Each structure stands twice: as C-alpha cells, then as structure tokens.
Amino acid sequence: MNRPSAHFTDDIRHALCKYVLLYRDSQSPPQYRGRYTDEHPRRAAMSNADQKPEVPPRPDEILPDERIQYQAMTELTNAEYATLAADIRENGVLQPVIVDDSDEQKIIDGHHREAVAVHYDLPESKQPAYVVLTGSTETEKVARAIKQNLIGRDTTNAVKSHAVRQYIETVWDRTDDGALIRPETDSEVASKLGVSEPAD
C-alpha cells in the first residue's frame, strides 16, 4: 500500500529543522549547550562578522553649519567612517577634538569624531576631550585644520597638492576678474601646512 507523500512549505520545513536543533541542544551536556543555536558564541561571532558596520550620518547632517566651516581635505569613505564609528562606540573618542575659542566652538579638527559622539549620545566616559585653539586668525585656523588632516594620511603628491590647493582657494583673495592674489609662494604654503615639498 502506497503512503501519500508529505509536502511541506518552506516555513514548515524551517520550523521542523529549528525544533530538531533545539531538541538536540536540550539533550547536550551543559558545557555544549547552544552549539546548535545562535546563542553559541562561535555562531554568534560568525553572524556578527557577516554584518557590515553601520554608517552614521555625516557631520553636516548632525552638527550646526557654523561648527563645521573648517572641515578640511577629502571626506572619509563610508567604510572608513563606519570603522571609525564602530571603534568610537566601543572605545570612546581617544583623540581630542580641536576647537576655536569662539562662542560656537567651531571645530578645527575632529568633525567626524564629534559627529559620532553626538549621534550615538555616548556616555560621559566615552565623550571627546577638547583642545581650545586661542588667539588664532582665520588663516591660521584654516592652515591648522588642513595640517591636522594631513597627519596620519598617506601623503602622496596628490594629497599634498590637494592640501595646498584647498588652502589657496580658501584663504587667498581674488581680483574682480577672478585672478588669485598671491600673498605667499606655493613653497611658503607647503611649509605652513607641514608638507615636505611643494606640490606640483
């Protein structure tokens, strides 16, 4: 006599498999409990490793405009920003945020660190420390912002060139017909920014 075949939907099949795994887990010795479920540390670690780090909002989406006017150099990639945010959430802001002495405390360096701290409302123990830059001119603030952002970067000629161009476009004035007024040479700008040689 032929028995009718059983047809299971994917949901039923998944539920049966989960029940079997939970049953096996319940029959295991205490030290091995969880190896058939996501509660097992190794399985949980593998699951977490597959998850991409969260990319928080950018500084200009979180911080007031007047605080980020000195943001220098190129933006972090999503991967770089997500990695920074994950590290800060775990370990706190380890590098101080540099601000000026204005009422707004405009950020000279540390825009991304400050944005992450604000976005995730970090506890006091993980909040950034602040270094206040006093008595600096606008030109000095721009130079300091760019110079700080060069620290730790792969300072290729392209990066050096970008730093010099950004300083020139931000600080130097132009004539009515758009020509740059050059108060400094490229070599002097490079020296001010801590670039070892003038960019081409």
Q: What percent of the chain has pLDDT above 90?
A: 34
Cβ contact 126:113 at 8 Å: no
Rounded Cα distance, 72 and 144, in Å:
10
Between vectors from CA 191 to CA 188 and to CA 194, what angle results, nearest 5°?
155
If one compares 27 and 166, the residue with the highest pLDDT of the two is 166
pLDDT digits (tens, 9 = 90+) for 128-183: 999 999 998 988 898 888 888 777 566 677 777 777 787 888 788 888 888 888 88
The residue ranges of every structural domain in the chain are 10-49, 59-192
If one compares 34 and 90, the residue with the highest pLDDT of the two is 90
Give the pLDDT band of residue 108 (cuts 50, 70, 90). Answer: very high
Tokens of 174: 């132009």
pTM for the whole thing? 0.61
